[in-house]
Amino acid sequence: MLDEAEENARETVRSRVTPSVFDAIERFVGACSRWGRVSNLVSAADRARLWERHVLDSLQLVPLAEGAGPVWVDLGSGGGFPGIVVAIAREGTDMTLIEANRKKSAFLLQAAAEAGVKVRVRPQRIEAVEPFVADVVSARALASLDTLIRLAAPFFGPDTIGLFPKGKDAPLETDTAHLRHDFTASLIPSLTEDSSIVRVTGLRTVS
């Protein structure tokens, strides 16, 4: 049984997507809940707030990639946020999920299958994946922006967009990253309180 905040978040998601997309996301959320009860993959606190803290947070990345091509790579995909949610909600997305933890990689494959969405899962460290140019690169709750840009750089081409949800220190992290990396950043207010999504474009050189 969902509490009021979680039910409101679920209904907000329902209002923003098509019925078939909502059904697929709901199946994915169900998989997260089931796996979380039998493993440490999803904490009890996260299971209680999957719609509010994770699904909505992931879904807000989709319009920020408007106009970009289909190839999307999600770094350190963990429990599938935002990667699987984006793959479900963004029609035609060619999603690669990179996750070194074998248990989490197995979950990602199973959860994607339950949701009926095709993704590619790379059970490797990010640095070990053979680079390819993506249209969009994302990472959530993985590392500082400076480190994220270093890890994401091999997947950037001239027109690649980076989408990196960050907390209240997003401006400071952006300033720090600019000391070592050459890029353009836009800080977009997040649905999560005191948070921003750092939208990175024009990544040119990495020292």
Which residues are annotated binding-site positions for S-adenosyl-L-methionine?
A: 76, 81, 126-127, 140
- pLDDT at 181 (0 to 100): 94
Buried b vs exposed e over 134-168: b needs ≥16 C-beta within 10 Å? bbbbbbbebbebbebbbbbbbbbeeebbbbbbbee
Bridge partner list, 63: none
CATH number at residue 100: 3.40.50.150
- pLDDT at 75 (0 to 100): 98
Number of domains in the chain: 1
Summarised one tens digit per residue, pLDDT across range 69-91 is 999 999 999 889 999 999 999 99
- pLDDT at 35 (0 to 100): 76
Q: Which residues of the chain have pLDDT under 50?
A: none
Question: What pTM did the predictor assign?
Answer: 0.92
Which residues are annotated binding-site positions?
A: 76, 81, 126-127, 140
Range of the domain at 42: 4-206
What span, in angstroms and rounded, lies between the C-alpha atoms of 2 and 47? 10
CA angle 99, 43, 7 (to 5 degrees): 105
- pLDDT at 42 (0 to 100): 62
